[in-house]
Structure 1
Amino acid sequence: MGPAARGQRRQAREGTGLIMSTIPRIAMTIGDPSGVGPEIAVKILSKPENRDKALVSLLASPEEVESLAAEFKVSVPLSDVAKQGYVHAIGTTYDGPAAKRGVASIAGGTRAMLDLERALELFKQDQADAILFESLNKSALHNAGMHEQDELRWFARILGYDGFTSELNFIPGLTTSRVTSHVAIKDVAAGINARSVHDAITLLNRVIQGTGIERPKLAVCALNPHAGESGQFGREEIDHIAPGIRLAQDEGVDAKGPFPCDTIFIKARAGEYDGVVTMFHDQGQIAMKLIGFDEGVTVQGGLPVPIATPAHGTAYEIVGQGIANDTPSQRAFDIATGLGRQTQEARVAAGNEQE
């Protein structure tokens, strides 16, 4: 590529704000429209500090946003383009019957899925650096046609991504990843090997770095009681987990273990570690929800695009009352912003290398 062509590409990127701006672009959905997601979304976007630190494209119509804002007595300035200080309400491709509030429905699940698909398209078209979605209902999604074991696998299929993925769970001061996730307990051991342990460690390290911690301190859980007692209670720690840790250490990751999972979260809660790698779903989730249930955030880790969501459900029973806690969504917004900035920087770096 000659100097003239490189200059044209640089000018084009500057026109999109990728070089001149460090403000990440967030594609945001209201989640299941029957739940508390819509009301929480307008509350989050009514805060000037949020509109200042990200360019938000919301998958809702201007009329929908204005109606919700009026109902919950907040103000959400709208713009026809993604613009700092405003919200770009880009509408939804869903054109079916309105979903009834407070109940799971095919209409609600279909709207949620279509909005997520549109958000993924915005990322593919280089119009978003991260995605934030409000809470979903798995029954509604299943009835609407989502048959994967969870949203993470659905995202991977839609994106055509077959690399390592893991849900990451955030509470203030601590993040976890999983080597295995939504599988039966009897199948957990078969999913643990040196490579999968390494991948869960390096993914967690990379995501925590995206939140601003340059060199995260990570702990890795054992699978068996007492970390296997030198092989007396199983050899997974010796044959798979410790080798996976060494692979990550060889790449410069500050990871230690394997530690007995019944004590490591005590040290993590005290601040000795920024993240913990767990071997299966409840090994980490029980601890995380005991420590910080009302502040949890989930990140769909490993995908080409950062995707964050509050860890709570749709809370159908309190829809419309204006009492839904927006703290998890605020934290999800902050995390999506940080990870989106990381994505933006990587895209700029890749573009510069191509020149």
Structure 2
Amino acid sequence: MKPRIAVVLGDPAGIGPELVARLISDPANRERADFLIIADRAELEEGMRIAGVRFDYTLTTDPRAHDRAPETAPGTPVLWDFRGAANAPFERAVATANGGRYALDTLQQAIDLTVDGVTDAVCFAPLNKHSMHLAGLAHADETHWFAELLQPNGPFGELNTLDGLWTSRVTSHVALKEVSDLITEEKILGAIRLASTTLQKAGVAEPRIAVCGLNPHNGDNGSFGREEIDVIGPAVEAAKAQGFPVIGMYPADTIFLRAKEVDAIVTMYHDQGQIAMKLMGFSRGVTVHGGLPIPIATPAHGTAFDIYGEGKANVGATQAAFDILCAMAQTRRATPRAA
């Protein structure tokens, strides 16, 4: 059976509706998966208008019964016309509480439906963190909100992937001055385990993982910091002892030269991996929210308020997120009890 993907448009002030319209308008994607779109109908229509594409869809008032609706032709996306507590119309190209509320409410419905098995995975278009905070999001980012909703058993966090290379990070959305104090052997091992288990769910049987240092030249034997000696090196050795195929640690300015030798790189902080990955292919990068009991992914770029309505948003990263989710959804179906 084809996987069923729950899709939401992200922040309506940005390029999300256009990206979703481009993704679903491709007949090849509709052959690979069934789509349940959770969105304000006017927003979906606006996305198709901006993208210059068109596809038929079936409306439902009961998304939990959408796959049983006799009027739904095979391959036809199903739309649940829903906007939660948000008010329409939406302001464009600006962060607002209304747009943030719409993004959060539609995303929560997608998560609930996937937890309940109505859909197999969640694909969401770009969010705007300021909009979500204006709407009342109490967490630094959506990843920790997902964890509050889903209560994962074990490490969780964002992983980024591009052309088969994945990155996991020990710290994420924190001030750079706080990074050193937050790096522990336990957290490094958690990032390694998170990378390994997430890649396995995406179809990589035995992920090869490289670990990055923190300081210039890996601290140069303690001359520029001791994190490599006291924390990172011991964590790498502990991971090897636990059976993980780990190499490193390598300095941040050279580790990505080894990208073809490994499946994943564990970095110590956000920009160690993000700068390299976005330079390698900004329009193709994907963020996967790993360690959660359901597959969730999104393009790694933002809402691009500056090009809203211009019809030139690149669907490459959204397409890549969909591709990964199809693989993860099939794995989830084969092992429904896996976290």
**Do both share a fold (TM > 0.5)?**
yes
Select the residue among 298, 315, 318 that pairs with 2:307.
Answer: 318
**1:293-312 deviations in Å (ceiling 9; x for gaps):** 22211112222222111111
Select the residue among 213, 217, 234 that pairs with 2:204.
Answer: 213
Q: How far 1:112 moved relative to its partner?
A: 0.4
Tell me what 1:86 maps to: 76
Tell me what 1:35 maps to: 14
Cα distance in 1 for residues equivalent to 2:234 and 2:123: 35
Instruction: Count residues in correspondence.
Output: 327
Cα distance in 2 for residues equivalent to 1:251 and 1:123: 33
* Shift in alpha-carbon separation, 1:221–1:71, aligned structure 2, 3 A: closer
**Please, which moves more after superposition, 54-63 or 99-108?**
54-63
- What TM-score does the superposition give when structure 2 sets the normalisation length? 0.89
Tell me what 1:100 maps to: 91
1:185 aligns with 2:176: yes
Q: How far 1:212 moved relative to its partner?
A: 2.7
Select the residue among 276, 282, 288 that pairs with 1:287.
Answer: 276
Q: How far 1:278 moved relative to its partner?
A: 0.1
**Please, which moves more after superposition, 89-98 or 67-76?**
67-76
The answer as to whether partners of 2:195 and 2:264 remain within 8 angstroms in 1 is yes
1:69 aligns with 2:58: no
SS at match of 2:254: helix
Select the residue among 37, 42, 58 that pairs with 1:58.
Answer: 37
Moved over 4 A (4+): 61-64
Tell me what 1:24 maps to: 3
1:272 aligns with 2:251: no
Q: Tell me, which stretches of 5 or more residues in structure 1 are unaligned?
A: 1-20, 351-355
Cα distance in 1 for residues equivalent to 2:243 and 2:29: 34
Q: How far 1:214 moved relative to its partner?
A: 1.9
**Residue identity (%):** 44
Amino acid paired to 2:81: G
The answer as to whether partners of 1:169 and 1:176 remain within 8 angstroms in 2 is yes
Alignment of 1:103-122 (within 5 A): 103-122=94-113
What CA RMSD, in Å, does the superposition of the two structures yield over aligned residues?
2.2
Cα distance in 2 for residues equivalent to 1:195 and 1:33: 39
* Shift in alpha-carbon separation, 1:281–1:61, aligned structure 2, 3 A: closer
Amino acid paired to 1:49: A
Cα distance in 1 for residues equivalent to 2:133 and 2:332: 30
Alignment of 1:335-350 (within 5 A): 335-347=324-336
1:329 aligns with 2:318: yes
The answer as to whether partners of 2:40 and 2:83 remain within 8 angstroms in 1 is no
The answer as to whether partners of 1:298 and 1:310 remain within 8 angstroms in 2 is yes
Cα distance in 1 for residues equivalent to 2:228 and 2:293: 30
Cα distance in 2 for residues equivalent to 1:119 and 1:74: 24
The answer as to whether partners of 1:306 and 1:339 remain within 8 angstroms in 2 is yes
* Shift in alpha-carbon separation, 1:256–1:98, aligned structure 2, 3 A: same
Q: Tell me, which stretches of 5 or more residues in structure 2 are unaligned?
A: 61-65
Q: How far 1:67 moved relative to its partner?
A: 5.3
**1:39-63 deviations in Å (ceiling 9; x for gaps):** 1101100111211222221112556
1:224 aligns with 2:215: yes
The answer as to whether partners of 1:98 and 1:107 remain within 8 angstroms in 2 is no
- What TM-score does the superposition give when structure 1 sets the normalisation length? 0.85
SS at match of 1:262: coil
Tell me what 2:63 maps to: none
Cα distance in 2 for residues equivalent to 1:227 and 1:110: 43
Cα distance in 2 for residues equivalent to 1:62 and 1:99: 13
Cα distance in 1 for residues equivalent to 2:95 and 2:141: 17
The answer as to whether partners of 1:136 and 1:314 remain within 8 angstroms in 2 is yes
Q: How far 1:349 moved relative to its partner?
A: 7.5
Tell me what 1:239 maps to: 230
Cα distance in 2 for residues equivalent to 1:256 and 1:267: 10
The answer as to whether partners of 1:66 and 1:76 remain within 8 angstroms in 2 is no
Q: How far 1:162 moved relative to its partner?
A: 7.0
Q: How far 1:27 moved relative to its partner?
A: 1.2
Cα distance in 2 for residues equivalent to 1:138 and 1:64: 20
The answer as to whether partners of 2:38 and 2:81 remain within 8 angstroms in 1 is yes
Amino acid paired to 1:146: L
